[in-house]
């Protein structure tokens, strides 16, 4: 990643999308509503054929950079976005997910250019039903992805220091954040104790949650976690997630 030239926006927001037109509209709306306007939005589309490109073009000046072409998966798309990011901090925002209007403004009050700043996120089903809160708990990163990735502002310099995302099919965000955690520990994070973003269930990691947890287990072992502990953690979170999904599916709303 080349160093930016000229004035830096406070934030670069990178969105990877592929055939997610109806979901992308929700993300566009949330970015239009931000009270902090010091951001650039970088959209990396994987060659959609569902009207996503028309939505991106229709967003006008909200989009600072976009491309639509085949890629090698989500990590590759994120890395393409990182390669052109110029903001002081980078956020990854999934297509279909959303920020509360004050998320960027709130994070901006806590940034110091060194630490990752993160908030909590609410979890909603696709039809808007509450599924709880995804709390940012960086001290537990050695046990799994305990951070809502969308709501984490990473100093661009840290990506230059630690490198981009590994091109693996799942848990690529956990892989990167665990690398960061092993170097800086929980002291490398500032947690804003507010719920300021929304995850909608049904994304790639959610739909493939068992495979995602298996990938996380492998990543933990690669990073020195005892294999038996990694397996126990994977089985525990898999059971809890399965029970929660079944409860959500059967709850008489």
Say what the pLDDT of residue 251 is. Answer: 46
pTM of the model: 0.88
Inform me whether the pLDDT recorded for 14 exceeds 80. yes
Q: At what angle do helices 209-222 and 227-250 cross, to 10 degrees?
A: 160
90 φ, ψ to 5°? -120, 135
What domains are there in the chain, each with its CATH number? 11-201 (3.90.550.10)
pLDDT, tens digit (0-9, with 9 covering 90-100), for 61-79 = 999 999 999 999 999 999 9
pLDDT, tens digit (0-9, with 9 covering 90-100), for 191-238 = 999 999 999 986 555 556 678 888 888 888 888 878 888 788 777 777
Contact present, 177 and 188 (Cβ < 8 Å): no
Is the four-CA dihedral 134, 137, 142, 148 of positive or negative sign? Answer: positive
Mean confidence (pLDDT) of the chain: 89
Say what the pLDDT of residue 195 is. Answer: 98
Say what the pLDDT of residue 128 is. Answer: 84
């Amino acid at each position: 990643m080349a160093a930016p030239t000229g004035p830096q926006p406070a934030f670069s927001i990178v969105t990877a999308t592929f055939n997610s037109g109806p979901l992308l509209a929700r993300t566009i709306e949330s970015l239009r509503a931000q009270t902090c306007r010091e951001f650039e939005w970088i959209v990396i589309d994987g060659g959609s054929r569902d009207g996503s490109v028309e939505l991106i073009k229709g967003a006008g000046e909200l989009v600072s950079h976009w491309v639509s072409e085949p890629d090698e998966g989500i990590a590759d798309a994120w890395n393409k976005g990182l390669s052109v990011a110029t903001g002081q901090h980078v956020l990854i925002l999934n297509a279909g997910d959303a920020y509360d209007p004050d998320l960027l403004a709130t994070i901006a009050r806590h940034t110091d250019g060194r630490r990752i700043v993160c908030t909590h996120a609410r979890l909603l089903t696709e039809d808007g039903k509450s599924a709880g809160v995804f709390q940012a708990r960086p001290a537990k990163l050695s046990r799994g992805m305990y951070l809502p990735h969308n709501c984490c502002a990473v100093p661009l310099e840290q990506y230059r220091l630690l490198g981009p995302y590994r091109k693996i099919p799942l848990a690529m965000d956990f892989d990167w954040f665990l690398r960061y955690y092993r170097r800086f520990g929980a002291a490398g994070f500032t947690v804003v104790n507010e719920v300021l973003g929304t995850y909608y269930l049904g994304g790639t990691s959610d739909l493939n949650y068992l495979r995602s947890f298996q990938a996380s287990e492998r990543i933990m072992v690669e990073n020195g976690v005892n294999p038996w502990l990694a397996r126990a953690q994977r089985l525990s979170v898999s059971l809890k997630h399965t029970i929660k999904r079944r409860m959500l599916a059967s709850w008489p709303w």
